[in-house]
Amino acid sequence: MMQLLELFIQNEYAISFATTASDSEKAEDLFNYGIKTENIALNNSSFDFFIAELNPAIVLFDRFITEEQFGWRVAEQCPNALRILDTEDLHFLRKARQVAVKEQVAIQEANLHTETAKREIASIFRCDLSLIISEVEKELLEETFEVPSVLLHYLPFLVDPISEEERNQLPKFDERIDFVTVGNLYHAPNVDSVKQLKKYIWPQIRKQLPDAQMLVYGAYAPQQILELHNEAEGFLIKGWAPDLSEVLKAARICLAPLRFGAGLKGKLLDAMRYGLPSVTTTIGAEGMYGELPFPGHIADDDEKFVTKAVQLYQNETIWNDFQKQGISIIEKRFLKESFSKEFNARLEDLKENIDSYRKANFVGQMLLHHSNQASKYMNKWIEEKNRKQ
């Protein structure tokens, strides 16, 4: 989201960030970016007055649930505004994979045709454009669900180039120590990953590397994760990292045994940025490296995962090769300048030809019509109910 906001700032948009979320001490201070923040309420017609007065040229919805709640109001009050959905990752894909893991079904056989899929793909059709962070997910939408490519725009992580000076300042192999994993611990795939580390993977690594430690960083850790902290075993729950770069520059290897998930994994991108090779799963590496060599090891079997992690921890030559491959992936797949111009051009084309785009998307117009009525009267019912309480 911050990368998207920075793109709009660079193109001199005036930005209002409307949110139903409460304040958090870990939230980015948008005021420093010249962005105005507005608090909005769910199921409340006050949003209608707010959005009508603002009269934006573009409205960006953060995930499909936000579009479900506010999309019909935007369409009614500001019919000429472009409606863009930032999927972040495909929720229905992540949830289907989570169910498959729980039911011990192969990830490839996960049932994707769920209620969540119907809701999320309907949201994609209702919007003028949806931002897809992974090539794998774009292909899935186009080939499995027959979503027209004109409704989708591939926009991955956007990273500034790593200068020669920054590369030279990255700590070397023998200046780093220990294993690390990072991620929001309110997020189910990360919670499951940490539990996998604790129960199956770390005990075997620790047997072979008795002086090494496993450092787990992430905000909002639930009690079940906090209870895994064990200094005697070298398994340390460290909580939120105020400076992620320091954490990743100090560690030697990033471990991410993700069994389910979707989109792109920010922890692996950050590891590449700070010269840190990774050991992860097929799910973790999905969409990250394209046709390039992955900067680390991919292992879906616990025994192989442990073997590769221990070998990499001890092999400086391979470690150095993986570090270079990570930087190469950033340069070839995630540089901001490689995607920003195309994205801006897509927005301008949409703004100039919005009527023809919408006419061509009759399914979207049909869904918008019906969802408008359903969401509209459900929201009004809830608003009236809240008023009487």
pLDDT tens string 325-355: 999 999 999 999 999 999 999 999 999 999 9
User: For 200, what's the count of Cα atoms within 13 Å in the CB-facing half-sphere?
Assistant: 18
d(CA 51, CA 72): 12
CB 240, CB 24: distance < 8 Å: no
Same-fold call for 2-158+336-382 versus 164-333: yes
| Burial track 270-300 (b if 16+ CB lie within 10 A, e otherwise) | bbbbbbbbbbbbebbbbbbbeeeebbbbbbe
Q: How confident is the model at residue 372 (pLDDT cuts 50, 70, 90)?
A: low
CA gap 306, 277 in Å, rounded: 15
Residue 371, pLDDT score: 63
Counting residues of the chain whose pLDDT is more than 90, the rounded percentage is 89
Task: Give the model confidence (pLDDT) of 71-86 as tens digits.
Answer: 999 999 999 999 999 9
What DSSP character marks residue 31?
A: G
Q: What is the fold, at CATH topology level, of the domain defined by 164-333?
A: Rossmann fold (3.40.50)
pTM summary value: 0.92
pLDDT of 381 above 90: no
Q: Which DSSP letter does residue 279 get? A: E
CATH number of 2-158+336-382: 3.40.50.2000
Q: How confident is the model at residue 375 (pLDDT cuts 50, 70, 90)?
A: low
Q: Over the stretch 27-45, which tens digit does the pLDDT of each residue have?
A: 788 989 999 999 999 988 8
- Under 8 Å between Cβ of 147 and 141: yes
210-227 pLDDT, tens digit each:
999 999 999 999 999 999
Average pLDDT, the chain: 94
Tokens (6 digits) for 21: 């979320």
Tokens 């948009």 correspond to 13
What are the residue boundaries of the structural domains of the chain, listed by start? 2-158+336-382, 164-333
